[in-house]
Amino acid sequence: MQHSGVGGHFLRRGRATILSFALFGAIAAVPLACPLPAYALTSPESFADLIDQVAPAVVQITAKQPAGNDETAQAPFQLPDELRNGPFRDFFEHHFGPGNGEGGESTPQGERAALGSGFIISGDGVIVTNNHVIGDAQKIAVTLKDGSEFPAKLLGSDEKTDLAVLKIDAGRTLPSVSWGNSDATRVGDWVVAVGNPFGLTGTVTAGIVSSRGRDLHAGPYDDFIQIDAPLNSGNSGGPLFDAAAHVIGVNTAIFTPNGGSIGIGFAIPSNIAEKIVAELQDKGSVERGWLGVAIQPVTPDVADSLALKKAEGALVATVTDDSPAKKAGLKQGDVIIGFDGKPVATPRDLSRMVAETTTGSEKSLTVWRDGHEKRINVDVGSMPKQVAENEPSHSGHGATPGGVELSALGLTLAPVDDATRSHYGLSQTANGAVIASVDANADAAEKGLRAGDVITRVNQQAVTSPSDVLEAVAKAKGAHRKSVLLLVERQGDQRFVAVTLATA
């Protein structure tokens, strides 16, 4: 399965139907010991009045780029064998090209046209869509419900949230829709999606909110609304309405094994989109708050090694030099458990909170350090446009250096010296104890440790040799710790790894 910008194939329903019957049978065969209160479920008789109100504000986006550039095109549409020579062949080839189709129209000028959706948020022609719909298009056209087409100007786009804002001049006041409050949306609420799947303009689908706060691992700010209203290729950028005709989301992606809708779609919540769109209208880009820390999750093992009661927070792996975090006194190994008075449960929580903070403002951090909570004030900076990337380098020839066996961790350690620097390709600044081998059956192997990794700290204490590591581990065992927290360096990157102590 894959996540994608909404793109598609035909949906097969057979297996889903069988599954629903199987579930019905299981429920009918097992009586409830304690019957739940009965609720009268009501559904709207029709969405027609809502659609009459909002449909004129939904538009089709056509983004044209050179035919050789496939980066911004929707996922290719493959015409099924049973339809390739059937009565619908002309229709599909019109929208998706000859043969199997390629997810967009080809123009005589050698351009490729990717199709998507959008919606008008102000009468002067401001339009919201997805960034992946327009990509790096050379020309963007907007088609209104009445069929009139206008060239569009890109006011701004944001790759991290996959949003873009366009502007057209129609010479008249256009119908528009209003933002709603996505935070008030509950799982089970009715939703309506309007868009242009496969170029079929003004297509309406309905469903319910299936879940909230979904993280698709597409970016640090993922917080999607999951819906079961069908979405397909061409729905990207279209609006998701609540029952009051307010936009509560921007339809963006589907979860699919075949490219088509299986009833798992995702929309950017309006309470995120509205802020981003306003900033794109105003400045053309998004300025995000920045602390200057690399963070990672707090696992149960990490929490145990740090004497944290809950496996929550954001563990600081590195602190960038001359960053707001560095100036405020944050340290490697700190666990950020609160930001501006709000709890931080995961690194994603912290990333989103900081990103949404106005740059230059002072915020209070709640930090877990050395077994105690500590308050630190930090002046939130502006996220740099360029983030340096460390290129991995591999080296290693000759015999594996010997070392000291540490059975409690399933590791063999060696000192960082000229021999190990040469063998493992370590930098001249590397310092600590290098891992010479890892027991394949040990927790360290399961956690991803490998030969050539350098242990620089154990339970927040710096180590410069294998004997330092042995001493720190013995101390942890004496304190009846179940695990130790290692700071490990690999090819210039540092991360914390909690390793369970063997009970031999």
- What pLDDT is attached to residue 440? 82
- Two tokens at 188? 């089970």
Instruction: Indicate if 375 and 297 belong to the same structural domain.
Output: yes
Instruction: Indicate if 152 and 189 belong to the same structural domain.
Output: no
Instruction: Indicate if 274 and 355 belong to the same structural domain.
Output: no
Does the residue 332 lie in any domain?
yes
The model's confidence at residue 36, banded by pLDDT at 50, 70 and 90, is: low
Between 294 and 193, the higher pLDDT residue:
193
Per-residue pLDDT tens digits for 298-322: 988 889 889 999 999 999 988 888 8
CA separation for the pair 7, 215 (Å, rounded): 19
In the chain, the number of structural domains is 4
Give the residues across from 256 on adjacent strands: 2
Q: What average pLDDT does range 23-52 have in this prediction?
A: 62
Q: Looking at the predicted structure, is the pLDDT value of residue 6 above 90?
A: no
Does the residue 42 lie in any domain?
no
Q: Looking at the predicted structure, is the pLDDT value of residue 107 above 70?
A: no
The model's confidence at residue 218, banded by pLDDT at 50, 70 and 90, is: low
- What pLDDT is attached to residue 245? 96
pTM of the model: 0.64
Per-residue pLDDT tens digits for 415-454: 888 777 777 888 888 899 999 888 888 899 889 999 899 9
Q: If phi over 0 gives left and psi between -120 and 50 gives alpha, with beta otherwise, what is residue 175?
A: beta
The model's confidence at residue 17, banded by pLDDT at 50, 70 and 90, is: very low
Instruction: Indicate if 151 and 184 belong to the same structural domain.
Output: no
DSSP-based three-state secondary structure for 104: coil
CA separation for the pair 420, 302 (Å, rounded): 29
Instruction: Indicate if 52 and 163 belong to the same structural domain.
Output: yes
- Domain containing 443 — which CATH number? 2.30.42.10
Per residue, what are the HEC states of 250-302?
A: EEEEEEECCCCCCCCEEEEEHHHHHHHHHHHHHHCCCCCEECCEEEEECCHHH
Instruction: Indicate if 83 and 59 belong to the same structural domain.
Output: yes
Does the residue 31 lie in any domain?
no
Instruction: Indicate if 274 and 348 belong to the same structural domain.
Output: no
Does the residue 333 lie in any domain?
yes
Q: What average pLDDT does range 5-21 have in this prediction?
A: 32
The model's confidence at residue 83, banded by pLDDT at 50, 70 and 90, is: very low
Instruction: Indicate if 270 and 296 belong to the same structural domain.
Output: no
Does the residue 71 lie in any domain?
yes
Instruction: Indicate if 63 and 132 belong to the same structural domain.
Output: yes
Across 3-7, 211-215, 253-257, least confident range: 3-7
* Domain end marker among 283, 306, 340: 283
Q: What is the mean pLDDT of the chain?
A: 81
The model's confidence at residue 35, banded by pLDDT at 50, 70 and 90, is: low
- Two tokens at 39? 């609720």
State the sign of the Cα–Cα–Cα–Cα dihedral 297, 300, 301, 303.
positive
Percentage of the chain exceeding pLDDT 70:
77
Contact call for residues 367 and 335 (beta carbons, < 8 A): yes
Q: If phi over 0 gives left and psi between -120 and 50 gives alpha, with beta otherwise, what is residue 115?
A: beta
Q: What average pLDDT does range 193-209 have in this prediction?
A: 95
- What pLDDT is attached to residue 54? 97
Across 17-26, 313-322, 362-371, 377-386, least confident range: 17-26
Q: How many beta carbons lie within 10 A of that of residue 359, not counting itself?
A: 14
Instruction: Indicate if 295 and 268 belong to the same structural domain.
Output: no
Does the residue 302 lie in any domain?
yes
Q: Looking at the predicted structure, is the pLDDT value of residue 365 above 80?
A: yes
* Domain end marker among 167, 188, 223: 167
- What pLDDT is attached to residue 9? 31
Q: Looking at the predicted structure, is the pLDDT value of residue 19 above 70?
A: no
Q: Looking at the predicted structure, is the pLDDT value of residue 480 above 80?
A: yes
Q: Looking at the predicted structure, is the pLDDT value of residue 101 above 90?
A: no
The model's confidence at residue 25, banded by pLDDT at 50, 70 and 90, is: very low
Does the residue 15 lie in any domain?
no
The candidate with the shortest Cα–Cα distance to 239, out of 275, 202, 276, 280, is 202
Does the residue 398 lie in any domain?
no
Instruction: Indicate if 84 and 69 belong to the same structural domain.
Output: yes
Catalytic residues: 132, 162, 236
Q: Which domain holds residue 458?
A: 404-500
Q: Looking at the predicted structure, is the pLDDT value of residue 392 above 50?
A: no
- Residue 290 one-letter amino acid: W
- Domain containing 137 — which CATH number? 2.40.10.10
Instruction: Indicate if 264 and 337 belong to the same structural domain.
Output: no
- What pLDDT is attached to residue 34? 54
* Domain end marker among 224, 251, 283: 283
- What pLDDT is attached to residue 405? 77
Q: Residues 6 or more apart from 383 whose CB is under 8 A from it?
A: 287, 288, 289, 290, 355
CA separation for the pair 444, 427 (Å, rounded): 23
Q: Looking at the predicted structure, is the pLDDT value of residue 13 above 50?
A: no
Per-residue pLDDT tens digits for 443-478: 998 899 998 999 999 998 999 888 889 889 988 888
Q: Looking at the predicted structure, is the pLDDT value of residue 388 above 80?
A: no
Q: What average pLDDT does range 14-31 have in this prediction?
A: 32
